[in-house]
Protein backbone atom coordinates (compact mmCIF):
# COMPACT_ATOMS: atom_id res chain seq x y z
CA UNK A 1 0.00 0.00 0.00
CA UNK A 2 2.70 2.39 -0.91
CA UNK A 3 2.43 5.94 -2.11
CA UNK A 4 3.78 5.55 -5.61
CA UNK A 5 0.83 6.12 -7.89
CA UNK A 6 2.53 7.00 -11.14
CA UNK A 7 4.01 10.14 -12.64
CA UNK A 8 1.97 13.34 -12.65
CA UNK A 9 1.96 14.05 -16.36
CA UNK A 10 -0.01 16.97 -17.75
CA UNK A 11 -2.27 14.40 -19.37
CA UNK A 12 -3.80 13.81 -15.97
CA UNK A 13 -5.55 17.13 -16.43
CA UNK A 14 -7.38 15.75 -19.47
CA UNK A 15 -9.75 13.55 -17.46
CA UNK A 16 -12.37 16.29 -17.22
CA UNK A 17 -12.52 16.54 -21.01
CA UNK A 18 -13.95 13.07 -21.48
CA UNK A 19 -17.59 14.10 -21.26
CA UNK A 20 -17.03 17.06 -23.58
CA UNK A 21 -15.42 14.93 -26.26
CA UNK A 22 -17.67 11.88 -26.06
CA UNK A 23 -20.26 13.50 -28.31
CA UNK A 24 -17.60 14.37 -30.85
CA UNK A 25 -15.89 11.00 -30.52
CA UNK A 26 -19.01 9.19 -31.70
CA UNK A 27 -19.11 11.14 -34.91
CA UNK A 28 -16.72 11.30 -37.87
CA UNK A 29 -14.15 13.61 -36.39
CA UNK A 30 -11.37 14.13 -38.92
CA UNK A 31 -12.49 17.41 -40.44
CA UNK A 32 -10.20 17.28 -43.47
CA UNK A 33 -7.08 15.60 -44.76
CA UNK A 34 -5.04 18.64 -43.75
CA UNK A 35 -6.50 19.72 -40.41
CA UNK A 36 -6.76 17.15 -37.61
CA UNK A 37 -9.89 17.34 -35.48
CA UNK A 38 -9.52 18.30 -31.83
CA UNK A 39 -11.19 15.09 -30.70
CA UNK A 40 -8.61 13.03 -32.62
CA UNK A 41 -5.80 14.91 -30.86
CA UNK A 42 -7.56 14.23 -27.57
CA UNK A 43 -7.77 10.55 -28.50
CA UNK A 44 -4.01 10.54 -29.08
CA UNK A 45 -3.47 12.13 -25.65
CA UNK A 46 -5.69 9.52 -23.96
CA UNK A 47 -3.85 6.76 -25.84
CA UNK A 48 -0.59 8.16 -24.48
CA UNK A 49 -2.05 7.83 -20.98
CA UNK A 50 -3.49 4.35 -21.27
CA UNK A 51 -0.94 2.73 -23.63
CA UNK A 52 -3.87 0.63 -24.82
CA UNK A 53 -6.38 1.05 -27.65
CA UNK A 54 -8.89 -0.99 -25.64
CA UNK A 55 -8.65 1.24 -22.56
CA UNK A 56 -8.59 4.45 -24.59
CA UNK A 57 -11.68 3.38 -26.52
CA UNK A 58 -13.48 2.42 -23.30
CA UNK A 59 -12.56 5.76 -21.71
CA UNK A 60 -13.98 7.73 -24.65
CA UNK A 61 -17.00 5.56 -25.37
CA UNK A 62 -15.97 4.46 -28.87
CA UNK A 63 -15.07 1.10 -30.38
CA UNK A 64 -11.48 -0.13 -30.47
CA UNK A 65 -11.65 -0.30 -34.28
CA UNK A 66 -12.83 3.30 -34.45
CA UNK A 67 -10.02 4.48 -32.17
CA UNK A 68 -7.39 2.63 -34.21
CA UNK A 69 -8.80 3.93 -37.48
CA UNK A 70 -8.87 7.53 -36.28
CA UNK A 71 -5.26 7.39 -35.13
CA UNK A 72 -4.29 6.00 -38.53
CA UNK A 73 -6.21 8.86 -40.18
CA UNK A 74 -4.47 11.36 -37.92
CA UNK A 75 -1.10 9.94 -38.97
CA UNK A 76 -2.07 10.27 -42.64
CA UNK A 77 -3.23 13.86 -42.10
CA UNK A 78 0.05 14.84 -40.43
CA UNK A 79 2.28 12.75 -42.66
CA UNK A 80 4.28 11.19 -39.82
CA UNK A 81 3.89 8.06 -37.68
CA UNK A 82 2.64 8.92 -34.18
CA UNK A 83 2.13 5.53 -32.57
CA UNK A 84 4.49 2.61 -32.14
CA UNK A 85 2.60 -0.66 -31.82
CA UNK A 86 4.07 -3.76 -30.18
CA UNK A 87 2.55 -7.06 -29.11
CA UNK A 88 2.48 -5.93 -25.46
CA UNK A 89 1.66 -2.21 -25.46
CA UNK A 90 1.16 0.94 -27.47
CA UNK A 91 3.78 3.67 -27.30
CA UNK A 92 4.37 6.97 -29.03
CA UNK A 93 7.01 7.84 -31.57
CA UNK A 94 9.14 10.94 -30.94
CA UNK A 95 6.75 12.93 -33.13
CA UNK A 96 3.73 11.59 -31.28
CA UNK A 97 5.22 12.40 -27.89
CA UNK A 98 6.13 15.93 -29.00
CA UNK A 99 2.60 16.50 -30.23
CA UNK A 100 1.06 15.24 -26.98
CA UNK A 101 3.46 17.37 -24.91
CA UNK A 102 2.63 20.46 -26.97
CA UNK A 103 -1.15 20.09 -26.77
CA UNK A 104 -1.19 19.20 -23.07
CA UNK A 105 -1.25 22.80 -21.83
CA UNK A 106 -4.01 23.76 -24.27
CA UNK A 107 -6.20 20.85 -23.24
CA UNK A 108 -5.54 21.67 -19.59
CA UNK A 109 -6.90 25.19 -20.15
CA UNK A 110 -9.95 23.74 -21.88
CA UNK A 111 -10.45 21.31 -18.98
CA UNK A 112 -10.29 24.16 -16.48
CA UNK A 113 -12.82 26.17 -18.49
CA UNK A 114 -15.17 23.18 -18.77
CA UNK A 115 -14.94 22.59 -15.00
CA UNK A 116 -15.67 26.26 -14.31
CA UNK A 117 -18.70 26.26 -16.57
CA UNK A 118 -20.03 23.03 -15.05
CA UNK A 119 -19.71 24.58 -11.60
CA UNK A 120 -22.11 27.32 -12.73
CA UNK A 121 -24.80 24.68 -13.25
CA UNK A 122 -25.61 24.49 -9.56
CA UNK A 123 -25.25 21.28 -7.58
CA UNK A 124 -22.09 19.21 -8.21
CA UNK A 125 -22.72 16.32 -10.56
CA UNK A 126 -21.02 13.64 -12.59
CA UNK A 127 -19.05 10.44 -12.10
CA UNK A 128 -16.14 10.19 -9.62
CA UNK A 129 -13.92 7.15 -10.08
CA UNK A 130 -12.18 6.19 -6.83
CA UNK A 131 -9.62 3.51 -6.00
CA UNK A 132 -8.94 2.35 -2.45
CA UNK A 133 -7.15 -0.55 -0.71
CA UNK A 134 -9.37 -3.58 -0.19
CA UNK A 135 -9.44 -3.70 3.63
CA UNK A 136 -9.65 0.05 4.18
CA UNK A 137 -12.24 0.41 1.43
CA UNK A 138 -14.49 -2.37 2.73
CA UNK A 139 -14.31 -1.38 6.37
CA UNK A 140 -14.22 2.42 6.35
CA UNK A 141 -14.73 3.96 2.88
CA UNK A 142 -17.74 2.02 1.58
CA UNK A 143 -19.83 2.56 4.78
CA UNK A 144 -19.58 6.35 4.31
CA UNK A 145 -20.93 6.34 0.75
CA UNK A 146 -24.69 6.04 1.41
CA UNK A 147 -24.68 9.30 3.38
CA UNK A 148 -22.61 10.96 0.65
CA UNK A 149 -24.97 9.84 -2.11
CA UNK A 150 -27.97 11.09 -0.15
CA UNK A 151 -26.29 14.48 0.34
CA UNK A 152 -25.19 14.76 -3.33
CA UNK A 153 -27.74 12.80 -5.42
CA UNK A 154 -26.34 14.02 -8.75
CA UNK A 155 -22.86 12.62 -8.07
CA UNK A 156 -22.21 8.99 -9.01
CA UNK A 157 -19.40 6.97 -7.42
CA UNK A 158 -17.42 4.15 -8.99
CA UNK A 159 -15.32 2.48 -6.27
CA UNK A 160 -12.53 0.09 -7.27
CA UNK A 161 -11.00 -1.86 -4.36
CA UNK A 162 -7.45 -2.96 -5.10
CA UNK A 163 -4.13 -3.11 -3.25
CA UNK A 164 -2.07 -2.82 -6.42
CA UNK A 165 -0.29 0.39 -7.40
CA UNK A 166 -2.42 2.39 -9.84
CA UNK A 167 -1.44 5.15 -12.22
CA UNK A 168 -4.43 7.45 -11.81
CA UNK A 169 -4.10 9.25 -15.13
CA UNK A 170 -3.39 6.10 -17.11
CA UNK A 171 -6.39 4.22 -15.73
CA UNK A 172 -8.76 7.17 -15.58
CA UNK A 173 -9.24 7.49 -11.81
CA UNK A 174 -10.17 10.82 -10.25
CA UNK A 175 -9.12 9.94 -6.70
CA UNK A 176 -7.07 7.39 -4.79
CA UNK A 177 -7.46 6.68 -1.07
CA UNK A 178 -4.09 5.48 0.15
CA UNK A 179 -2.56 4.24 3.39
CA UNK A 180 0.99 5.60 3.04
CA UNK A 181 4.07 6.96 4.79
CA UNK A 182 3.96 10.11 2.64
CA UNK A 183 2.03 11.37 -0.34
CA UNK A 184 3.76 11.57 -3.74
CA UNK A 185 4.82 15.12 -4.51
CA UNK A 186 3.64 14.64 -8.09
CA UNK A 187 -0.01 14.63 -6.99
CA UNK A 188 -2.34 16.72 -4.86
CA UNK A 189 -2.94 15.04 -1.49
CA UNK A 190 -5.31 15.72 1.39
CA UNK A 191 -4.74 14.07 4.76
CA UNK A 192 -7.90 12.28 5.90
CA UNK A 193 -6.59 11.04 9.24
CA UNK A 194 -3.59 9.56 11.03
CA UNK A 195 -3.14 5.81 11.38
CA UNK A 196 -0.63 3.45 12.98
CA UNK A 197 0.39 -0.18 13.06
CA UNK A 198 -0.40 -2.45 16.01
CA UNK A 199 0.80 -5.89 17.09
CA UNK A 200 -2.05 -8.17 18.19
CA UNK A 201 -2.90 -11.74 19.17
CA UNK A 202 -5.88 -13.57 20.63
CA UNK A 203 -6.02 -14.17 24.39
CA UNK A 204 -6.09 -17.91 23.64
CA UNK A 205 -2.86 -17.77 21.63
CA UNK A 206 -1.06 -15.75 24.32
CA UNK A 207 -2.20 -18.20 27.01
CA UNK A 208 -0.85 -21.15 25.04
CA UNK A 209 2.40 -19.62 23.79
CA UNK A 210 3.23 -16.95 26.34
CA UNK A 211 3.34 -13.18 25.88
CA UNK A 212 6.57 -11.70 24.46
CA UNK A 213 8.28 -9.07 26.62
CA UNK A 214 10.77 -7.88 23.99
CA UNK A 215 10.62 -7.75 20.15
CA UNK A 216 13.52 -10.21 19.88
CA UNK A 217 11.26 -12.90 21.38
CA UNK A 218 9.03 -12.72 18.28
CA UNK A 219 11.58 -14.85 16.44
CA UNK A 220 10.38 -17.80 18.55
CA UNK A 221 6.66 -17.04 18.09
CA UNK A 222 4.15 -17.93 15.37
CA UNK A 223 3.76 -14.70 13.39
CA UNK A 224 1.22 -13.93 10.68
CA UNK A 225 2.92 -12.15 7.81
CA UNK A 226 1.77 -9.57 5.29
CA UNK A 227 2.74 -10.85 1.84
CA UNK A 228 5.43 -8.37 0.82
CA UNK A 229 8.47 -10.41 -0.17
CA UNK A 230 11.50 -10.34 2.11
CA UNK A 231 10.34 -7.04 3.62
CA UNK A 232 7.27 -8.76 5.03
CA UNK A 233 9.44 -11.14 7.06
CA UNK A 234 11.21 -8.39 9.03
CA UNK A 235 9.45 -6.29 11.63
CA UNK A 236 11.00 -3.14 13.15
CA UNK A 237 10.04 -1.58 16.48
CA UNK A 238 10.81 1.58 18.43
CA UNK A 239 10.58 1.83 22.23
CA UNK A 240 7.91 4.41 23.08
CA UNK A 241 7.78 4.17 26.88
CA UNK A 242 10.17 3.58 29.76
CA UNK A 243 13.08 5.55 28.26
CA UNK A 244 14.89 8.49 29.78
CA UNK A 245 14.00 11.99 28.61
CA UNK A 246 16.34 13.18 25.89
CA UNK A 247 17.73 9.73 25.12
CA UNK A 248 17.52 8.25 21.65
CA UNK A 249 14.69 5.80 21.11
CA UNK A 250 15.77 2.18 21.11
CA UNK A 251 15.07 0.45 17.80
CA UNK A 252 14.96 -3.30 17.20
CA UNK A 253 14.47 -5.30 13.99
CA UNK A 254 13.57 -8.97 14.07
CA UNK A 255 13.09 -11.67 11.42
CA UNK A 256 9.78 -13.46 11.91
CA UNK A 257 7.97 -16.44 10.45
CA UNK A 258 4.74 -18.33 10.82
CA UNK A 259 1.98 -20.45 9.31
CA UNK A 260 0.19 -17.89 7.14
CA UNK A 261 1.09 -15.10 4.74
CA UNK A 262 -1.55 -12.92 3.06
CA UNK A 263 -1.73 -9.62 1.20
CA UNK A 264 -4.83 -8.48 3.07
CA UNK A 265 -5.01 -7.30 6.68
CA UNK A 266 -8.53 -8.70 7.15
CA UNK A 267 -7.24 -12.20 6.39
CA UNK A 268 -4.43 -11.79 8.93
CA UNK A 269 -6.88 -10.44 11.51
CA UNK A 270 -9.13 -13.47 11.11
CA UNK A 271 -6.11 -15.77 11.47
CA UNK A 272 -5.15 -13.95 14.68
CA UNK A 273 -8.72 -14.23 15.97
CA UNK A 274 -8.50 -17.94 15.26
CA UNK A 275 -5.47 -18.24 17.54
CA UNK A 276 -2.93 -18.98 14.82
CA UNK A 277 -0.36 -16.38 15.84
CA UNK A 278 0.68 -12.77 16.32
CA UNK A 279 -0.28 -10.33 13.56
CA UNK A 280 1.00 -6.89 12.61
CA UNK A 281 -2.06 -4.95 11.45
CA UNK A 282 -3.07 -1.40 10.59
CA UNK A 283 -5.24 0.06 13.36
CA UNK A 284 -8.29 0.32 11.11
CA UNK A 285 -8.37 -3.48 10.78
CA UNK A 286 -7.64 -4.21 14.46
CA UNK A 287 -9.57 -1.54 16.40
CA UNK A 288 -12.99 -3.23 16.58
CA UNK A 289 -11.62 -6.62 17.71
CA UNK A 290 -9.36 -4.93 20.27
CA UNK A 291 -12.26 -2.92 21.70
CA UNK A 292 -14.32 -6.11 22.02
CA UNK A 293 -11.49 -7.95 23.78
CA UNK A 294 -11.23 -10.56 21.04
CA UNK A 295 -7.66 -9.44 20.35
CA UNK A 296 -5.04 -8.06 22.74
CA UNK A 297 -2.16 -5.70 22.19
CA UNK A 298 1.26 -7.35 22.16
CA UNK A 299 4.37 -5.35 23.19
CA UNK A 300 2.31 -2.17 23.80
CA UNK A 301 5.43 -0.20 24.84
CA UNK A 302 7.01 -0.85 21.42
CA UNK A 303 5.62 0.85 18.30
CA UNK A 304 5.98 -0.97 14.97
CA UNK A 305 7.75 1.23 12.41
CA UNK A 306 8.28 1.42 8.66
CA UNK A 307 5.74 -1.18 7.63
CA UNK A 308 2.28 0.25 7.03
CA UNK A 309 1.76 3.95 6.39
CA UNK A 310 1.10 6.50 9.10
CA UNK A 311 -1.59 8.54 7.33
CA UNK A 312 -4.64 8.01 5.18
CA UNK A 313 -4.53 10.27 2.12
CA UNK A 314 -6.95 11.25 -0.61
CA UNK A 315 -4.75 11.72 -3.68
CA UNK A 316 -5.72 13.14 -7.06
CA UNK A 317 -3.84 14.09 -10.23
CA UNK A 318 -2.76 17.72 -10.26
CA UNK A 319 -5.12 20.26 -11.80
CA UNK A 320 -5.50 23.97 -11.10
CA UNK A 321 -9.16 23.53 -10.21
CA UNK A 322 -10.46 20.09 -9.15
CA UNK A 323 -13.99 19.14 -10.19
CA UNK A 324 -16.47 20.05 -7.49
CA UNK A 325 -17.73 16.48 -7.29
CA UNK A 326 -14.22 15.26 -6.44
CA UNK A 327 -13.73 17.97 -3.85
CA UNK A 328 -17.10 17.18 -2.28
CA UNK A 329 -16.08 13.55 -1.85
CA UNK A 330 -12.70 14.51 -0.33
CA UNK A 331 -14.42 16.85 2.14
CA UNK A 332 -16.93 14.13 3.03
CA UNK A 333 -14.24 11.53 3.67
CA UNK A 334 -12.17 13.95 5.72
CA UNK A 335 -15.17 14.61 7.97
CA UNK A 336 -16.12 10.91 8.18
CA UNK A 337 -12.60 9.82 9.18
CA UNK A 338 -11.59 12.84 11.27
CA UNK A 339 -11.39 10.83 14.51
CA UNK A 340 -9.16 8.17 12.98
CA UNK A 341 -9.21 4.68 14.42
CA UNK A 342 -8.99 4.85 18.21
CA UNK A 343 -7.26 1.95 19.93
CA UNK A 344 -7.98 0.93 23.53
CA UNK A 345 -5.14 1.69 25.94
| Contact indicator for 145, 138 with CB cutoff of 8 Å | no
Tell me if the pTM is above 0.75: no
Assigned CATH topology for domain 197-305 = D-Maltodextrin-Binding Protein; domain 2 (3.40.190)
DSSP secondary-structure letter at 3? S
What pLDDT does residue 31 have? 46
What are the domain boundaries of the chain? 10-119, 126-193+310-336, 197-305
Which residues on neighbouring strands pair with residue 302, listed in sequence order? 239
| DSSP code per residue over 185-251 | TTEEEEEEEE--EEEEE-HHHHHHH---SSGGGGGGS-EEEESBTBGGGEEEEEE-SS--TTSPPPE
pLDDT of residue 211: 95
Task: Judge contact between 224 and 268, C-beta under 8 A.
Answer: yes
Would you write out the chain's pLDDT as a tens digit for each of its 345 residues?
Answer: 433 333 333 444 444 455 444 444 544 444 444 555 778 888 888 888 888 888 888 878 888 888 888 998 888 888 889 898 776 778 889 988 888 888 877 776 776 676 666 666 667 888 999 999 999 999 999 999 999 999 999 999 999 999 888 888 778 899 999 988 888 888 889 999 999 999 999 999 999 999 999 999 999 999 999 987 666 689 999 998 766 666 677 899 999 999 999 999 999 999 999 999 999 999 999 999 999 999 999 999 999 998 888 999 999 988 767 888 999 999 999 999 999 988 876
What CATH topology corresponds to 10-119?
Arc Repressor Mutant, subunit A (1.10.10)
* Dist. CA 97–CA 264, nearest whole Å: 39
The listed CATH number (3.30.565.10, 3.40.190.10, 3.30.1370.60, 3.30.310.40) that belongs to domain 126-193+310-336: 3.40.190.10
Domains 10-119 and 126-193+310-336 share a fold: no
Amino acid sequence: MGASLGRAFDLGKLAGLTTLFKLMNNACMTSSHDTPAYADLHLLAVLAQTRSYTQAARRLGVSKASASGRIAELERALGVPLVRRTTRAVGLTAAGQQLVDDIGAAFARIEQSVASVKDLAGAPRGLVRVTAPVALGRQHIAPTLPAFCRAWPEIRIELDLSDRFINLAQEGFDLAIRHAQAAPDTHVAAVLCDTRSVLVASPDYLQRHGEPQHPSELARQQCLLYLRGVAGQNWAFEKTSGRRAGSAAERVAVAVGGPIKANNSEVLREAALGGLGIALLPDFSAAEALAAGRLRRVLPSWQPRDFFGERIYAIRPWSPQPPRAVQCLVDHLRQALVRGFALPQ
